[in-house]
Chain A
């Protein structure tokens, strides 16, 4: 284990094999494992960046006028995607929000207008944070990276 033991002849030739002392190596590994297990983070935390309507962005980049803006109204009934005068409702599937349909619609819109990066999400007061995060996540998944939150009343 750890290398063959040197076989000494009667002063003739010295063996080239060396014994590796495994004990400190195993000690080091055990200490490392204990430390890493204690400091391990099993839940990866990430962030979703959103802007606010009227926020003081230091580097505002106004979009070209010809690119229509997309807004997503989130209510108890579902989503309504609006761009200019066009409105596309995405109703709830039973009691749950239909995020698959929302992802599909956002993908279609991004496919038709690849320059569209700005989305305004307008949730009602009763919408829970989880639904809001999933809507923002769907927008980011469709590569619409500038997400702005705006309450419908403002």
Chain B
């Protein structure tokens, strides 16, 4: 019998108002304590979508192999040395490296001269010569020539710049030319007349940017 004075009365067994404390929430209802989970015991293993993961791994490997390069190993990059950028540089060759960073001129990991010392009044050489650097370069050149004479068969005319006449100079962006010209002149005195300025390759001709990774991924999606 429905009481017309009660607007929320139902004809079914459902009650409009339930007593607090007797109604379970959905999470509690599904819990094992209250016998929930009518599909039986849930497996402890999660399904892993292996196909897209393997696709992604393969794309990553292809991209990383494509951008693999060993030229960066020739130079030692330090925080205090910011190299200039150029668009039309050539690939770096394995040559002796003269680094001008901060207050030091470094050759093969050894500081051969201090810039402040060179520019002080009593050490201004009118010939622009840096004795420590010249000695080190001459020593290195003699060693290269001795190695070459011992193994003449290894000489290849297409092997790139000659390491006995060419040198890499790695300098900071803010390095003034008055220092650079002394380093270059000293290199020339030691027999290294071909100077290669190390720069950061701009313009990205080798396809190693994030944009190229995006293109590669997009191509993978289309495939």
Contacts and interface: CB of A to CB of B under 8 A. Distances in A.
Contacts of B71: 41, 44-45
Interface stretch (B11-19, B32-40, B140-148, B170-178): B170-178
Contacts of B61: 29, 32-33, 36
A1 interface: yes
A49 interface: yes
A25 B74 contact: no
Interface stretch (B108-116, B191-199, B215-223): B191-199
B151 interface: no
Given A130-B84, A140-B88, A2 B57 contact: no
B214 interface: no
A26 B53 contact: yes
Contacts of A33: 57, 60-61, 64
A95 interface: no
Interface residues of A, number: 47
Contacts of A2: 50
Contacts of A43: 72, 77, 200
Contact of A45 (B185, B188, B198): B198
Nearest to A57: B193
B153 to A, nearest CB: 21
A126 B58 CA distance: 51
Interface in B108-163: 161
A68 B217 CA distance: 51
B68 interface: yes
Interface of A: 1-2, 22, 25-26, 29-30, 32-33, 36-37, 39-52, 54-58, 123-130, 132-134, 136-137, 140-141, 149, 151
Interface of B: 50-51, 53-54, 57-58, 60-61, 64-65, 67-75, 77, 83-93, 161, 165, 168, 171-178, 180-181, 184-185, 188, 191, 193-201, 204, 206, 208
29 contacts: A40-B68, A41-B73, A43-B72, A43-B77, A43-B200, A44-B69, A44-B201, A45-B72, A45-B198, A46-B89, A46-B91, A46-B200, A46-B201, A47-B91, A47-B168, A47-B197, A48-B196, A49-B161, A49-B194, A51-B193, A55-B194, A128-B173, A129-B175, A129-B180, A130-B84, A133-B85, A133-B86, A149-B181, A149-B184
